[in-house]
Structure 1
Amino acid sequence: MADLEISDIPEVVFAELQNLANRSEMPVEDYARGAICDAVAEHWHSSEDDITFTQLQANLEAILGVVEREPVVLVDENGQRYVFVSAELFDRMNGSGDTS
């Protein structure tokens, strides 16, 4: 995994980041890493390109967060496309209420 060092974060922004991390009972670095991963997953999802399996593997937790809200289109190395949906949405689409 790559390392990232960010300088010149405004104090008010860093203080809010600390507050958010504290509320989530996480170290600031872990909270910031999650926020960055979430932002990248949102960007991949909102772009015109499908999400690759490599991107899915690299950022699984954040992409699962997107899948909880809406379907995500994945594409494999051969160009085959798949739709990744939550179990809840799948059950609604199939008229079933059981997600187990």
Structure 2
Amino acid sequence: MNWIILVVAGLLEIGWAIGLKYSQGFTKLGPSIATVCCLLFSIVLLGVSMKTLPVGTAYAIWVGIGAIGTALFGIVLFDESTDVIKLVSLGLIFAGIIGLKLAHS
């Protein structure tokens, strides 16, 4: 169950990272509130997942999910670059997440 909680925490990390862009430096109320809510829930769920998961593994996976998701949303929503080096690097982060999960099993 804590793995699921960790994944949800990672997805919420994507939400607050993208929310930062939409909040325009916390000058727009709605996106700012959504960003702060995602941030708080993400941190709380990360902490809950760490009750049974190793801190290094949980944190690395949380950051990895956030990094990959934020980069992909940046490509889709903000027309950011999709050069090969960027995509390969995201693939390596994904491989690292899978490796950490397998190492914990």
Bin of the TM-score, shorter chain as denominator length:
0.3 to 0.5
TM-score, normalised by the number of residues in structure 2: 0.34
Greater share of helix residues, 1 or 2?
A: 2
TM-score, normalised by the number of residues in structure 1: 0.35
Greater share of strand residues, 1 or 2?
A: 1
Comparing both chains, which one has the higher relative contact order based on Cα–Cα distances under 8 Å and sequence gaps of 6 or more? 2
